[in-house]
């Protein structure tokens, strides 16, 4: 038995009052949305980037709507600049035009393109040719990328011809230009570009006065400063199986890049053998050792990314030896014959991430 409900049509006066109330309330809500500060201290931005997703977590006491929108636009613009330079999927990108240009004459090149080519060259040399951005013809011949696979893979004759076009020294980087050593060389920076993109976004945030952040593009990341509660960022090394996204190990890290390369995302099986999308440029063959994944920590995500790929070519033994001798922080997950996993890591990894983490499985 509540208050009696008025029956019949509302009076004109009531209708007008209701309309006015609705407009006032609506305007007030809109005002709150547009002008109120966003609740900190951690802000998140995410979207599509470089054929995958990006996530940025940013620690700031507060941001206004305007500042938030401005930062989001700056992040997207940085990612687009990297894409315009390095995307092999975009036929108009700088790298695609360079690949299509079948001559050995020097062409003007952006800072982004030259930076990535120089870093790729350095890791190529230091890894004895295990990292090689000219490997694409071989990757395609084995049926990865956009290549169609002949059953059994390329013949030895085809391989020999393709390998003429492959080598980490096949591209020269000048002060403002780049040049191929053979007109038919093509470059594919997908094993290093995401790391570079992460560093670019991170630099953008620092330059805008936001040094505490986590930037991630498709699993490669940069953790700068500390979280809102003044503890290091917590990131996961995934369990290397194709199904789930289970956590293998949690790391506490600050001021470092991190990248993982693994055979568990892109591979196919032939005659019971896993054919991995990582090709050993030295032999022209897909890698076949039992390395399931390798995670590298490096101040620059670009180098973490390239080294993760290089070490995944070299494998658990050779890779571990080289990483240890170069003082690289690397963590290996190795697939045993019986399907179980064993792990190993370098001394530099232990000093960077080991202290805060229980390394026992």
Q: Which residues of 325-346 are buried (b: 16+ CB within 10 A; e: fewer)?
A: eeebbbbbbbbeeeeebebbbb
Out of 57, 277, 320, 335, point to the residue binding ligand ADP (CB under 6 A): 277
Q: Which residue has the tokens 């990292």?
A: 131
Closer residue to ligand ADP in complex, CB, 265/288: 265
Q: Site residues (CB under 5 A) for Mg ion?
A: 191, 261, 305, 308-309
- Tell me how far, at minimum, the Cβ of 111 lies from Mg ion, in Å: 21
261 binds ligand ADP (CB under 6 A): yes
- Element (DSSP H or E) covering residue 98: helix 94-100
- Selection from 76, 96, 77 nearest residue 86 by Cα: 96
Closer residue to Mg ion in complex, CB, 58/134: 134
- Tell me how far, at minimum, the Cβ of 130 lies from Mg ion, in Å: 12
- Tell me how far, at minimum, the Cβ of 145 lies from Mg ion, in Å: 14
Q: Which residue stretch of 21-29, 129-137, 170-178, 231-239 sits at the interface with ligand ADP (rule: CB under 6 A)?
A: 129-137
Burial class (CB in 10 A: 0-12, 13-18, 19+), 102: exposed
275 binds ligand ADP (CB under 6 A): no
Q: What angle do CA 144, 102, 195 make, to 5 degrees?
A: 45
Q: Which residue stretch of 13-21, 188-196, 198-206, 295-303 sits at the interface with ligand ADP (rule: CB under 6 A)?
A: 188-196
Closer residue to ligand ADP in complex, CB, 121/210: 121
Closer residue to ligand ADP in complex, CB, 147/211: 147
Round to whole Å and give the CA distance between 81 and 94.
10
279 binds ligand ADP (CB under 6 A): yes
- Tell me how far, at minimum, the Cβ of 33 lies from ligand ADP, in Å: 38
> For residue 33, which phi and psi values (nearest 5 degrees)?
-65, -40
131 binds ligand ADP (CB under 6 A): yes
> Which tokens in the block code for residue 28?
């007030």
Q: Which residues contact 20 (CB under 8 A, 6 or more apart)?
A: none
Report the residue number whose CB is nearest to ligand ADP: 191
DSSP, residue by residue, 18-77: HHHHHHHHHHHHHHHHHHSEEE-SEEEEEEEETTEEEEEEEE-SEEEHHHHHHHHHHHHH
> Which tokens in the block code for residue 6?
């008025």
225 binds ligand ADP (CB under 6 A): no
Applying CB under 6 A, the residues found at the interface with ligand ADP are: 131-133, 135, 139, 144-145, 188, 190-191, 261, 265, 277-279, 281, 305, 309, 312-313
């Amino acid at each position: 038995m509540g208050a009696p409900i008025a029956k019949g049509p509302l009076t004109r006066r009531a209708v007008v009052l209701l309309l006015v109330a609705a407009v006032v309330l609506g305007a007030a809500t809109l005002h709150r949305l547009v002008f109120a500060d966003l609740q900190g201290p951690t802000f998140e931005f995410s979207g599509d980037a470089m054929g995958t997703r990006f996530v940025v977590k940013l620690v700031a006491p507060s941001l206004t709507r305007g500042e938030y929108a401005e930062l989001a636009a700056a992040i997207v613009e940085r990612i687009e600049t990297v894409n315009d330079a390095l995307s092999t999927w975009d036929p108009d990108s700088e790298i695609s035009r360079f690949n299509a240009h079948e001559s050995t004459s020097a062409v003007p090149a952006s800072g982004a393109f030259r930076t990535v080519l120089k870093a790729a060259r350095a890791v190529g040399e230091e890894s004895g040719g295990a990292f090689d951005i000219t490997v694409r013809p071989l990757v395609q011949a084995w049926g990865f990328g956009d290549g169609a696979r002949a059953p059994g893979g390329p013949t030895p004759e085809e391989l020999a011809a393709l390998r003429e076009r492959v080598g980490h020294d096949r591209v020269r980087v000048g002060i403002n230009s780049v040049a191929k050593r053979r007109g038919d060389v093509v470059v594919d920076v997908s094993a290093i570009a995401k790391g570079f993109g992460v560093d670019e976004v991170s630099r953008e945030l620092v330059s805008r006065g936001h040094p505490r952040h986590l930037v991630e593009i498709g699993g490669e990341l940069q953790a700068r400063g500390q979280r809102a509660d003044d503890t290091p960022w917590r990131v996961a090394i995934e369990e290397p199986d194709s199904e789930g996204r289970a956590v293998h190990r949690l790391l506490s890290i600050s001021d470092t890049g991190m990248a993982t390369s693994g055979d568990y995302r892109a591979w196919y099986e032939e005659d019971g053998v896993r054919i991995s999308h990582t090709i050993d440029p030295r032999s022209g063959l897909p890698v076949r050792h039992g390395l399931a994944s390798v995670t590298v920590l490096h101040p620059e995500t670009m180098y973490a990314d390239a080294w993760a790929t290089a070490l995944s070519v070299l494998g658990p033994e050779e890779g571990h030896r080289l990483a240890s001798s170069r003082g690289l922080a690397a963590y290996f997950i190795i697939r045993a014959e019986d399907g179980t996993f064993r792990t190993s890591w370098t001394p530099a990894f232990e000093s960077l991430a080991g202290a805060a983490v229980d390394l026992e499985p």
